[in-house]
Structure 1
Amino acid sequence: MTSVQGDTETDGWTLPKATALLVMADGTILEGFGFGATGVAVGEVCFNTAMTGYEEILTDPSYAGQIITFTFPHIGNVGTNEEDIETVNLAASAGARGVIVRADVTDPSNFRATRRLDAWLKARGIIGLYGIDTRALTALIRERGMPNAVIAHEPDGQFDRSALLAEAAAWPGIDGMDLVPGVTSAQRYDWDETSWTLGQGYGRPAETKYKVVAIDYGIKRNILRLLSDSGCAVTVVPATASAQDILAMAPDGVFLSNGPGDPAETGHYAVPVIKALLEKHVPIFGICLGHQMLGLAVGAHTLKMKQGHHGANHPVKDFTTDKVEIVSMNHGFALDRETLPANAAETHVSLFDGSNCGIALTDRPAFSVQHHPEASPGPRDSHYLFKRFVETMEKARVPG
């Protein structure tokens, strides 16, 4: 699937010279044109099927270490703004290491836009590549799995292809890699911002009823906003916070956030904390990596997926309501249902491939889901899970 070398003459036509490359570890090289930041970045290539929300996706810390291919061809047409960023830790890495799109970025056509996507990417240090057949790349990932690769952008089109191939081949990959330290917060902080509304922006809660400690493995802003919407006074703590420090805050509940990397590696320091919280019967709600952390804490195992789930149009069945929801997803690992203990009931399942998407403990007030009920981007079918967390905390307050 190596593309044609640019800047050559064929049958009287002069082909433009490639200014960006995607060099895969197996030797496949795709040529296109660069935008955004210049330079070289290495990561795992995945594809995302969402039709909207590219800014939220590109700032989701769960994408750390990955190069995102968008299957939707028109990316950048509504520009960017400063309100739709999902990462909280602006001092951390950008999340995604690169972005691949089909068509060149157009001028934005949206009243909220403040910058073109290419200028926004350049400011955030994210390399972009356009002009390749993203359908063919998506088919390759579906057939072979998510490849390790280097994305490179040089305006003069001069590349050391051998060096780029060597770098791609030498990168060990996300399997076995703890990426949480690069995206978690450095210190605890309080959060009280609520959801965005047209003409008003983000708000503040009128009152709070529950105290929630959110463990930040790479948390998204919209998760925090929905917790705040639900009447929670939220304190965010770093991924390495101890159970003793968390319990000292006397929380009504603890939230386990999303995040990047291999959950088994993060589990080395996260699982003992979660186990200690479970022993105290603290209500727990986990999303994405937080779901996997809860599973590991009760003895289950995780496995690497071939192509992962990335998009805003995934069907998931909730066995507790017997309904099918369309949800947002972003993960390359999953809980192995064959290793779930007897006290971990499966509550959700993917209707694409049958993989586990949710558990609830039968002997503790704890539950989690693999998908992203906070969306941003994506449908809001699963917002009810935040209400379920509130109900779990309320029930835990009742004596006996």
Structure 2
Amino acid sequence: MKGYLVLESGEVYAGLWQGGENRAGEVVFNTSHSGYEEIATDPSYFTQIVVMTAPMQGNYGVEDEVWESNRLWIEGFICLEIQDTERDQAWKKRLTENKIPLLTEIDTRNLVLRLRQGGTPWGALVQASSETDARQKADALIAEKKKMDKDWVYLASRKTAETRRGDNMVGPRVAVLDFGSKENILRELQQRCSEIRIFNSRSTVQEIMDYNPDGIMLTNGPGDPADVKMAAGTIRELIGVKPIFGICMGHQVLGLALGAKTYKLKFGHRGSNHPIRDTLLNQIYMSSQNHGYAVEASSLPADAKVTHTNLNDGTVAGFYSEKNKYLGIQYHPESCPGPHEASGLFSFFIERMI
């Protein structure tokens, strides 16, 4: 069966339709060689069609224990080849059973070059009888998708508070502001804390302070930080009151709360092989990343020192204030998928900031 990826900018890519339903979303690429389950279940990929640069996907099947949430968040999955043999069709079945469109036998190298050179576009994956038919279906899907609420963080955030017991009975209590959190952020905290309580992204200062946490975690999440409602104002009132650690979207919203500016990257950083210079841990390491926006270094306040730098393009990968006890990290120190060298930042937060 023939399927198409149609970009809003006009390009059309034909491939083999492996199943799922027609869907629209932002088209992004990921350079990870493994971790397709963690990527697909990461709420940060809400509304996104993911193009994998590694040619073969689904090689090692599926394992529910590695999921980063309880559902698939992507709007589509594109790769050169998918494991589809008598031995193993598990990943293909998992996608199509959840109605996630799957397109293979597409020139992913050419497509990724387009995304790098032209930036991140909206697009749609459709099953169609012709390119003309595909364009008509895609235009309607993209137009409808764009009508959704722009506060994607709120759409991905849990709506009721949740309390989890930690593994360290003498550890601190941490309030987690859920912007679309990956499970491994919560696991890393639970290992070090006596208890964590997870709040909706639009929770008030009073709701958080009534819990009386020792520190606050701002999690990852999808979308444009400028479209996130309430959270920057809430965080602004908590700066200097409680130690704060922001990851990915949390880092960006923390920046906005400080009065800094954010901007959209041309094609974003998504993959498990992004080099970082970390002056807090005094290391250079590879990191897992998934974001489309960055914080403008020159707009940060005087007490915020840029402590982490993306060595690919020099963008701000982290900032820290010893005076007001806040830390923002643009990438994923919790990994999953990806390298674990940055996990020490969780210990830095618990042991040196709280």
TM-score, normalisation: structure 2: 0.94
Q: Which has the higher helix share?
A: 2
Look up the equivalent residue of 2:133 and give its one-letter code: D
CA distance in 2, matches of 1:116, 1:172: 29
Name the CA distance, whole Å, in 2 between partners of 1:79 and 1:141. Answer: 28
Q: Distance in 2 between matches of 1:125 and 1:364?
A: 46
Structure-2 separation of matches of 1:30 and 1:378: 29
Match of 2:341, SS? coil
Q: How many angstroms does 1:124 deviate by?
A: 2.5
Q: How does 1:209-220 map to 2 (within 5 A)?
A: 209-220=171-182
Partner secondary structure for residue 65 of structure 2: coil
Which AA in structure 2 matches 1:262? Answer: D
Tell me, in whole angstroms, the C-alpha distance in 2 between the residues paired with 1:343 and 1:308.
Answer: 27
8 A contact 1:291–1:369 mirrored in 2: yes
Structure 1 residue 127, shift from structure 2 partner: 1.0
Change (3 A) 1:157 1:19: farther
- 1:228–1:75: structure 2 CA closer, same or farther, 3 Å change rule? same
Match of residue 34 from structure 2: 52
Amino acid at match of 1:189: E
On the 8 A contact 1:30/1:132 being kept in 2, the answer is yes
Q: Which moved more, 1:296-305 or 1:100-109?
A: 100-109
The residue aligned with 1:5 is none
Contact 1:283 1:366 in 2 (8 A): yes
- 2:326 matches 1:366: yes
Q: What TM-score do you get using the length of structure 1 for normalisation?
A: 0.83
Report the counterpart of residue 238 of structure 2 in structure 1.
277
Root-mean-square deviation (CA), in Å? 2.3
1:392 Cα deviation after fit: 3.4
Q: Read off the aligned partner of 1:295 and give its amino acid letter.
A: G
Q: Distance in 2 between matches of 1:214 and 1:257?
A: 7
SS in structure 1 at match of 2:319:
strand
Q: What residue number does 1:97 align with?
A: 75
User: How has the CA–CA distance of structure 1 residues 261 and 368 changed in structure 2, closer, same or farther, with 3 Å as cutoff?
Assistant: same
1:382 partner SS: helix
Q: Secondary structure at the match of 1:122?
A: helix
**CA distance change for structure 1 residues 123 and 284 in 2, over 3 Å: closer, same or farther?**
same
SS of residue matched to 1:160? helix
Q: Is the 8 A contact 1:208 1:233 kept in 2?
A: no
Q: Distance in 1 between matches of 2:175 and 2:121?
A: 36
- 1:83 to 2:65 alignment: yes
C-alpha contact 1:61 1:183 (8 A) present in aligned 2: yes
- 5+ residue gaps, structure 2: none
Deviation at 1:316, TM superposition (A): 0.6
Q: Residue deviations 1:240-271, cap 9 Å, x none?
A: 111101001110111000000110110x3101
What does residue range 191-230 of structure 1 map to in structure 2 within 5 Å? Answer: 191-192=164-165, 205=167, 207-230=169-192
Q: Is structure 2 residue 292 aligned with structure 1 residue 332? A: yes
Q: C-alpha separation between the residues in 2 aligned to 1:172 and 1:190?
A: 34
- Matches for 1:1-400 after TM superposition, within 5 Å: 18-37=1-20, 39-88=21-70, 90=71, 94-107=72-85, 116-153=90-127, 160-167=133-140, 170=143, 177-192=150-165, 205=167, 207-266=169-228, 268-279=229-240, 281-394=241-354
Distance 2:345 2:169 in 1: 20
**Is the alpha carbon distance of 1:107 and 1:183 closer, same or farther for their aligned partners in structure 2, counting shifts above 3 Å?**
farther
Identical counterparts, % of pairs: 35
**Counterpart contact for 2:168–2:194, Cα < 8 Å:** no
Q: Which moved more, 1:73-82 or 1:210-219?
A: 73-82
Q: CA shift at 1:48, angstroms?
A: 0.4
Q: Is the 8 A contact 1:328 1:378 kept in 2?
A: yes
Q: Which runs of 5+ in 1 are unaligned?
A: 1-17, 193-203, 395-400
